[in-house]
Amino acid sequence: ILGGKNRKANSAALKSYYGETEHILRNAEMDNGDAFSSGQPEGRALVFCNTHKFQTHGWNNETKQTPGYVATRGTHEYTHVFHGAYITEPATWLEEGSAEFLAFWLGGEKKYNVMGGFEEQMMLVMSHLQKSRRQHPGVGLADMEDIDRAPTRARPLFHEIGYETGAWATAFAIAQSGLGVQQFYKDFFPKCAPEKEGWRKALPAACKMKNLQEFYFMFEMFLQMDAENHRKLLRGLTSLKA
């Protein structure tokens, strides 16, 4: 946990974090509240920066944070530490989306997500991503497999596709698998390791589909459904808690 403007002390704490030192130190020195999963897959760590700036009471228009933000952001970033044990190839939307989904899910389970609980948080995200889809037709999940190689038109939509659409793609995948949330994470991600199937084969297999292209097609069909069908999928997940 870093904070304040003592660059020497903060640098010492970050000496093993593979080139991300400057980015994190800049946030610390600017007194920004933030959190990162820092490092390479074989050595990721969870870093909190200026947690006193995280919101703890009520919505804050300046920071865009809510009560429980430390917990939800911590869950998101720690999920990346978990990813690091298995995913070594680019998987931008899968990593960001599944981290975001788990933060919303556990936030609802543990009552630290105050945006109306898991279902309402996910529906709020759906509303935002659908607005983005209307403004940017033809840009979708497949464009965000690797942010470093994403098409130019997709890169400004990193959050909308990687985080928001990715969170819903994770929910969709869990529903298709027939597993509970916890069991899906336990079963699926180890299979993403390159010495196993790799995520591009493991994902459609988990969803009982032929290939990744079929997954993208079926997910797109799901996104075009109405809000009641979206809520129905989420409520189905809540009955699969194991």
In this model, does residue 68 exceed pLDDT 50? Answer: yes
What's the rounded mean pLDDT across residues 73-86?
85
Would you put residue 67 in left (φ > 0), alpha (ψ -120 to 50) or beta? Answer: beta
Structure tokens, 40: 């390479």
Rounded distance, CA 184 to CA 182, Å?
Answer: 5
What's the rounded mean pLDDT across residues 29-58?
63
What's the rounded mean pLDDT across residues 97-106?
93
pLDDT recorded at residue 1: 46
pLDDT recorded at residue 59: 45
Rounded distance, CA 129 to CA 161, Å?
Answer: 8
pLDDT recorded at residue 108: 83
pLDDT recorded at residue 110: 77
Rounded distance, CA 24 to CA 13, Å?
Answer: 11
In this model, does residue 17 exceed pLDDT 80? Answer: no
pLDDT recorded at residue 195: 87
Mean pLDDT is highest, among 108-112, 152-156, 193-197, for 152-156
pLDDT recorded at residue 88: 81
Q: Which of 6, 163, 196, 168 is nearest to 85 (CA)?
A: 196
What's the rounded mean pLDDT across residues 69-76?
78
Structure tokens, 147: 């942010």
In this model, does residue 62 exceed pLDDT 60? Answer: no
pLDDT recorded at residue 10: 46
Task: Quote the percentage of the chain above a pLDDT of 90.
Answer: 52
Rounded distance, CA 193 to CA 154, Å?
Answer: 26
